A and B are shown apart, each in its own frame.
Chain A
Amino acid sequence: MTDTAAVTTQEVELAASTKDAPELLSWDSRARRTITVYIPLAIFIIVLLFPFYWMAITSIKPDYEMYNYKQYNPFWVHSPTLDNIKKLLFDTEYPRWLMTTMGIATAATFISVGASVLAAYAIERLRFRGAQHVGLAIYLAYLVPPTILFIPLATLIFQFGLFDSPFALILTYPTFLIPFCTWLLIGYFKSIPYELEECALIDGASRLQILWRITLPLAVPGLISAGIFAFTLSWNEFIYALAFIQSTEKKTVPVAILTELVTGDVYQWGSLMAGSLLGSVPVAIIYSFFVEYYVSSMTGAVKE
């Protein structure tokens, strides 16, 4: 009985492994695994990471190497230089753009996470009538793309006298951050047992005390991931920053690189790549510290 079962499973496994079987069993041969798993995976990783490698290597190449593929192997740097980065940091307003972006992203993140915590708590825990509908409406707000909003928002920003001011961005970024964070935090609050709050309620704690002393401490991982998400999203935002900010020194990094560093017909690829690389570093660092929160909460949020 067991023998026949083993034989059939082995046969089945042989047939299965020629396709992309989702689960390969342990007795699957090593060679086949290499072909069906490791080689495709290696190609995926190379293709997904190559643009970053290329960005990094271009940013430390001297000009004579960058434009001479015949003499210098383009995949390697023969005499690395920091000239591009130096030029970027000292001849342009790059440090200022970095600070501006950092400030705007931080402010927008705090506003959004604060508002989202309250909203998510009200929707998930206060259990008022119509909570579901409010939740759905906030979720729908996430589906409104910024590209259909930026023109009316531009006129609104102008009326408020916020044009060309960082507040234009700090106040508009929450429109796409709050729905996302609320959605994520509702999911997180759901995972905290309601009994804990009931106990506190019976013991005479007020609603605010419950939120402050019981729910929030338990929701810290959720708050961190909402914060990281909000920070990365505002760091990456482009169209509002492009439309609402005009003066050079107030621009955010993505906009400034594209509009200030690209001048004339000859592109300074070295500085452009250095700028892109440095602009990616802050989000990459934050991401690398919290990658586990990030991945799990992203999948958790999508599962909702």
Chain B
Amino acid sequence: MDATTGDLALEWKPRKQHSRIGRLFDSKPFLVALCLLPTVGLLVVFLTYPLGLGLWLSMTDTTIGQPGEYIGLDNFYSLFSDPVFWGAVWYTIFYTAVATVGKFLLGLWLALLLNNHIPFKAFIRAIVLLPWIVPTVLSAIAWWWIYDPQFSIVSFVLVDVLHWRTHYIDFLGSPWSARWSLIVANIWRGIPFVAITLLAGLQTISPSLYEAALLDGASGWQQFRRITVPLLMPILSVALTLSVLFTFSDFQLVYAITRGGPFNSTHLMATLAFQRAIPGSQLGEGAAIAVSMIPFLLVATLVCFFGVGRRKWQQGSDND
């Protein structure tokens, strides 16, 4: 004991641990508490407490600069008879559903393409991630410019180059085209994340499985259906959960491109909550809209996580 510690004394300075502070740092409960303190402190003050505070605010008539009083569920009653609110709920669900399906189909396709042996693979993989890296608001501004009513490059190509249409498309001017334009921009931004995530999943699948299937005479579709899809399920369910969650609570893209217009037709619940709470200064009502997102988020998360990948997810956790 003495000999070993003596040898190591030069390097490890074990003397320190005999002092009182040193001994305190060696007691596990103290160390655990010390290590968790910053994280738990920050999260409790700025996450857990605001979550509860939000619930409380949604039941008050607080406005900016004026503490409100408890008014029960009045905010929710007035929201439930507000067509703009129901419009936002409806569009949020539509936006999430369509954009998620689009992202995952295209993302899976891109992942399958990238899983081939292609030249400059690492470089292509890197640049494909760009839409995901760049701040959403900044790429949204680029999309805004692409959707310009007079100088849209897409319209220019369709009308003046290809002569497929006779006049320029007013992308953001009418409700439905605005809704679809936003969904396209969201899919564009979401493809890289899905593709790279699923690519990681694809690369964990052992090639010997495909070889075995090939020898057994399985077709390409059968290989995809029976090997690729089931083995991708664990990672797919995680990616799907995150994607649905963040698409449902999206704010930046819509706020940057349309701010909910034209005629409130593209409001998501998040943008409507912001609209009512900060510029409209009705904090209580805004909080009520934000709180009514929670049940949807819970259901969506549970369905995606346990519904899609439950069996595989459990297997995946065993492999760790």
Verify if B135 is at the interface (C-beta below 8 Å from A): yes
Q: Are B128 and A48 in contact (CB under 8 A)?
A: yes
Which residues of chain B come closer than 8 Å to A45, judged between CB atoms?
124, 127-128
Contact of A254 with B36 at beta-carbon distance under 8 Å, contacts A145-B249, A174-B46, A203-B8 already known: no
Q: Are B12 and A148 in contact (CB under 8 A)?
A: no
Contact of A182 with B39 at beta-carbon distance under 8 Å, contacts A20-B112, A144-B51, A279-B135 already known: yes
Which residues of chain B come closer than 8 Å to A55, judged between CB atoms?
139, 142, 145
Q: Are B124 and A41 in contact (CB under 8 A)?
A: yes
Verify if A161 is at the interface (C-beta below 8 Å from B): no
In the complex, what's the smallest C-beta–C-beta distance from B194 to chain A, in angstroms? 11
Which residues of chain A come closer than 8 Å to B128, judged between CB atoms?
44-45, 48
Q: Which residue of B lies closest to A211 (CB)?
A: B35
Q: Which residue of B lies closest to A69 (CB)?
A: B156
Q: Which residue of the partner chain, among B12, B131, B134, contacts A209 with CB atoms under 8 Å? A: B12
Q: Which residue of the partner chain, among B31, B113, B124, B160, contacts A207 with CB atoms under 8 Å? A: B31
Verify if B260 is at the interface (C-beta below 8 Å from A): no
Which residues of chain B come closer than 8 Å to A299, judged between CB atoms?
196-197, 199-200
The listed residue with most A CB atoms (<10 A of its CB), out of B40, B47, B110, is: B47
Contact of A122 with B145 at beta-carbon distance under 8 Å, contacts A44-B113, A302-B197, A302-B239 already known: no
Which residues of chain B come closer than 8 Å to A23, judged between CB atoms?
115-116, 207, 210, 223
Verify if A284 is at the interface (C-beta below 8 Å from B): yes
Verify if B158 is at the interface (C-beta below 8 Å from A): no
In the complex, what's the smallest C-beta–C-beta distance from A5 to chain B, in angstroms? 7
Q: Are A119 and B53 in contact (CB under 8 A)?
A: no
Verify if A154 is at the interface (C-beta below 8 Å from B): yes
Q: Are A119 and B39 in contact (CB under 8 A)?
A: yes
Contact of A22 with B137 at beta-carbon distance under 8 Å, contacts A122-B36, A148-B54, A203-B12 already known: no
Verify if B286 is at the interface (C-beta below 8 Å from A): yes
Verify if A288 is at the interface (C-beta below 8 Å from B): yes
CA distance A118 to B30 in the complex (A): 13
Q: Are A206 and B274 in contact (CB under 8 A)?
A: no
List A180-238 residues whose CB lies under 8 Å from chain B.
Answer: 182, 190, 200, 203-209, 232, 235-236, 238
In the complex, what's the smallest C-beta–C-beta distance from A155 to chain B, in angstroms? 7
CA distance A165 to B40 in the complex (A): 23
- Which candidate, A10-18, A83-91, A92-100, is the interface stretch facing chain B? A10-18
- Which candidate, B20-28, B83-91, B169-177, is the interface stretch facing chain A? B20-28
Q: Are B36 and A258 in contact (CB under 8 A)?
A: no
Q: Which residue of the partner chain, among B12, B188, B251, contacts A238 with CB atoms under 8 Å? A: B251
Q: Are B245 and A20 in contact (CB under 8 A)?
A: no
Residues of B in contact (CB 8 Å), total 117
Verify if A49 is at the interface (C-beta below 8 Å from B): yes
Q: Are A151 and B42 in contact (CB under 8 A)?
A: no
In the complex, what's the smallest C-beta–C-beta distance from A298 to chain B, in angstroms? 7
Q: Are A150 and B126 in contact (CB under 8 A)?
A: no
Q: Are B125 and A295 in contact (CB under 8 A)?
A: yes
Q: Are B146 and A51 in contact (CB under 8 A)?
A: yes
Verify if B238 is at the interface (C-beta below 8 Å from A): yes
CA distance A272 to B148 in the complex (A): 13
Q: Are A119 and B38 in contact (CB under 8 A)?
A: yes
Q: Are B54 and A48 in contact (CB under 8 A)?
A: no
Q: Are B127 and A21 in contact (CB under 8 A)?
A: no
0 or 1 for each of B155-181: is its CB under 8 Å from A? (1 = yes): 010001000000000000000000000
Q: Which residue of the partner chain, among A122, A204, A272, contacts B31 with CB atoms under 8 Å? A: A122
Q: Are B215 and A238 in contact (CB under 8 A)?
A: no
Known: A145-B246, A276-B138. 13 other contacts (CB 8 A): A37-B116, A40-B109, A44-B109, A44-B110, A51-B146, A119-B40, A147-B250, A156-B53, A209-B12, A273-B141, A279-B135, A280-B139, A299-B196
Lowest 6 CB-CB distances: which A-B pairs, in order?
A16-B220, A299-B200, A145-B249, A122-B35, A21-B220, A147-B270
**Which residues of B approach A to under 8 Å, CB–CB?**
4-5, 8, 12-14, 16-17, 22, 25-26, 28-29, 31-32, 34-36, 38-40, 42-43, 46-47, 49-51, 53-54, 57, 62, 106, 109-110, 112-116, 118, 122, 124-131, 133-139, 141-143, 145-146, 148, 150-151, 153, 156, 160, 188, 191-192, 196-197, 199-202, 204, 207, 210, 214-215, 217-221, 223-224, 228, 235, 238-239, 245-246, 248-252, 255-256, 270, 273-274, 277-278, 283, 286-287, 290-291, 293-294, 297, 301, 320
* 9 pairs of residues in contact across A and B, judged by CB atoms under 8 Å: A18-B220, A41-B124, A69-B156, A126-B28, A138-B39, A147-B290, A153-B50, A276-B142, A295-B125
